[in-house]
Structure formats: structure tokens, C-alpha cells
């Protein structure tokens, strides 16, 4: 039975990279980097920070790049975020980045003390581990793929199908580049749309005044936010950046007006679910107002209505601002009820 290789009881020595191999390895290395970055970004979304803070994709990318750059001087293979290792760490009780640091330190200690025993592990074991990890990665994406089919997003569906089919006939690195190019094309098309976020302030005379998007949610009060141009997944990161954070918004109500939204992407649905859960954790509530029939049908098919609560989704009507008025009244009633319960 073949074993892994000869593993000495020592750490890899310092060695300058052989730059003559750059032309041969450049294409494959770039494709590996794309996969590693995409995987890392997916993990930060699937496993949020324990303290509820937003994950910084830019900081994660810089960390992965610096780690691989330093590892290249010690004969390290290309590395990236690992969903399986993250799951194991979280399951073992890790609640911060130091979990990964100590995992690396323990691995180095094991190599120093038991490297000669590790080389006796059969290759079949490694093959089995890779198979399990591959199946886990695929199964982790099945809900997202199912949600895309349910929401009827033909652009992402076509990109996903083309990428899958080409992986069967052309080298994997070219498939990765094709998938990245298709995603970039969809993003460019979506970015051409105008996205706008404003606050609708209720005046003393009963009217409404449009103002700049709020930076925070006032605890114990209702804030009405009008969203325009959220028809595609590319606007969701902008929405996430411009929306006031839920952290510290104790007992606040956020009313999200979607009057100009004629369709909703799976990415936007996941964001709404996450925002509603985060706001609920602070003792607050998310209400959707002026939701048209098509968006309501998509929310129902995706199961988002169960997460958001059917009573917290105000459908659009033919009368101007009627849905907003209903949402405002519902928010005030909820605040009064919450205040009475607190007393």
C-alpha cells in the first residue's frame, strides 16, 4: 500500500522560490488563487463572526495573500479558507481567529514530534479525506443552487450550467477562469443599474420627507428606509454597506420600503433574512413595505416569509403611500406592545 511520502521530524527549511518556474505555474496558480479567495469569501458568509460584526472580505484576502507569500519561502502549497476545518474548529469551541493560529501551531508540533509516523498514513486515507471534503463542499452549495432555481435568476443559472458543463470537457483551470469571467460580466451589467437608499421621515403634519440614508437605527424607534434599484445581486453589497448596522439598535424597528423592486435575487433574500435575524437578536423588528406580487411570490417560494414573518410583510396597493402608512402603523403598534411588555 502506497504511503504519503517521507516526512522528517523537522519543519521545512527556508528556501527561495525558483522563479524560473513562474511561466509554467502562473496559470494554474492564478486559478488556485481564485478558488481560494472564493472559498474564503463563502466561509465568511456561511460562518459569521461570533460577535456579530461584519466580516471584511478585503482583510481576509490580504491575510490569505500574506500567508501564501510567507509560506512560499518554506515550500508551502497554496492554501485558502477551509469550510471543513472551520466547521471542526467551531464545533470544538473556537470563537475567534486564534483557533486557526493554534491549529497551525499544533500541526507544527505534531510534525516535529511525530513526523516519521505521519508518513505511514496510506494514500487511500488522504484520498478518502479529499472525497469527503469535496462532497461536503458540494452539499454546502446545494441550498444556494436550489434557491437560485426557485427565484428564477436566469443569468446565474446559465453561468452555473455553463461552468459545470465546461468542467467536464476542458482543463479545470480554464473552467475556473470562465466561471469568473461570467460572474464578472453579470456583475458589470448589474452595476450599471442605479442603486439608491433614502430615509422617509414622518412629519408632524402626517406627511413624509425624504432625507439621506440614516447611519444608525435609533433604539426604541421606527426608521423608514426606501430602497431603489435592488433588482440584482450586485447591489446587495452596496445595500449592506449603506444600511444602518443592527448592532446596538435595542428595540428598534426598521421599515424597508421596496416599492420599486419588481424582482428579488437569492442574494438579496439571504441578506434580508440575515438582517432580520440580527435585528431580532437586538430585540428589534424588520418590516418590509410596498412589496409587489412578484417579489412576494419569490419570498414565499424561497421560504423567506417563514423567517421574516408574514405579518411583517406589507403588500403593495394601488394607493400611493398606503403600504407605507400601514407599515408605519404596524411599527408603532409593535413598539407600544414591546414597551408595555418591558414594563
pLDDT digits (tens, 9 = 90+) for 123-172: 788 788 888 877 877 787 788 788 878 877 777 888 888 888 888 888 87
| Assigned C-alpha cell, 55 | 466580516
Strands (E), the chain: 196-202, 208-212, 222-228, 253-257, 285-291, 313-315
Domain 196-342 fold:
Transcription Regulator spoIIAA (3.30.750)
Given a cut of 80, whether residue 115 has pLDDT beyond it is no
pLDDT of res. 1:
45
What mean pLDDT is reported for the chain? 83
Residue 219: strand, helix, or coil = coil
Residue 99 burial (C-beta neighbours within 10 Å; 0-12, 13-18, 19+): middle
First-residue to last-residue Cα distance in the chain: 71
Q: What is the DSSP letter of 3?
A: B
pTM higher than 0.85: no
Greater model confidence, 64 or 47: 64
pLDDT, mean of residues 65-73: 87
CA distance linking residue 129 with residue 92, whole number of Å: 19
Given a cut of 90, whether residue 63 has pLDDT beyond it is no
Element (H, E) at 85: helix 83-91
CA distance linking residue 280 with residue 211, whole number of Å: 26
User: What is the C-alpha R_g of the chain?
Assistant: 25
Of the candidates 190, 312, 322, the one whose C-alpha atom is nearest the C-alpha of residue 256 is 312
Q: Where are the domains of the chain?
A: 19-151, 152-192, 196-342
Strand partners for 313: 288
Of the candidates 211, 207, 241, the one whose C-alpha atom is nearest the C-alpha of residue 226 is 211
Given a cut of 90, whether residue 216 has pLDDT beyond it is yes
Amino acid at each position: 500500500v502506497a504511503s504519503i511520502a517521507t516526512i522528517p521530524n523537522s519543519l521545512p527549511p527556508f528556501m527561495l522560490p525558483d522563479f524560473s518556474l513562474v511561466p509554467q505555474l502562473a496559470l494554474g496558480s492564478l486559478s488556485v488563487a481564485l478558488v481560494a479567495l472564493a472559498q474564503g469569501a463563502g466561509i465568511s458568509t456561511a460562518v459569521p463572526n461570533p460577535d456579530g460584526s461584519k466580516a471584511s472580505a478585503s482583510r481576509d484576502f490580504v491575510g490569505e495573500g500574506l500567508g501564501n507569500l510567507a509560506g512560499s519561502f518554506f515550500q508551502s502549497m497554496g492554501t485558502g479558507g477551509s469550510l471543513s476545518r472551520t466547521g471542526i474548529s467551531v464545533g470544538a469551541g473556537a470563537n475567534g481567529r486564534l483557533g486557526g493560529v493554534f491549529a497551525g501551531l499544533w500541526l507544527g508540533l505534531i510534525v516535529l514530534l511525530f513526523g516519521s509516523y505521519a508518513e505511514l498514513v496510506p494514500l487511500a486515507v488522504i484520498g478518502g479525506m479529499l472525497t469527503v471534503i469535496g462532497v461536503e463542499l458540494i452539499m454546502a452549495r446545494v441550498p444556494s443552487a436550489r434557491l437560485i432555481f426557485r427565484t428564477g435568476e436566469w443569468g446565474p443559472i446559465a453561468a452555473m450550467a455553463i461552468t459545470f458543463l465546461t468542467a467536464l470537457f476542458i482543463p479545470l483551470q480554464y473552467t475556473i477562469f470562465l466561471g469568473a469571467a461570467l460572474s464578472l460580466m453579470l456583475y458589470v451589467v448589474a452595476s450599471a443599474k442605479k442603486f439608491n437608499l433614502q430615509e422617509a421621515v414622518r412629519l408632524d403634519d402626517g406627511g413624509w420627507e425624504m432625507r439621506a440614508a440614516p447611519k444608525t437605527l435609533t433604539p426604541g424607534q421606527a426608521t423608514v428606509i426606501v430602497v431603489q434599484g435592488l433588482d440584482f445581486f450586485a447591489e446587495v453589497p452596496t445595500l449592506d454597506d449603506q444600511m444602518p448596522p443592527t448592532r446596538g439598535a435595542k428595540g428598534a424597528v426598521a421599515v424597508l420600503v421596496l416599492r420599486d423592486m419588481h424582482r428579488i435575487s437569492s442574494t438579496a433574500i439571504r441578506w434580508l433574512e440575515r438582517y432580520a435575524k440580527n435585528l431580532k437578536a437586538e430585540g428589534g423588528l424588520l418590516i418590509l413595505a410596498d412589496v409587489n406580487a412578484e417579489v412576494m411570490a419569490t419570498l414565499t417560494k424561497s421560504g423567506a416569509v417563514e423567517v421574516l414573518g408574514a405579518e411583517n410583510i406589507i403588500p403593495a396597493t394601488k394607493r400611493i403611500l398606503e403600504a407605507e402608512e400601514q407599515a408605519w402603523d404596524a411599527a408603532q403598534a409593535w413598539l407600544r406592545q414591546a414597551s408595555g411588555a418591558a414594563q
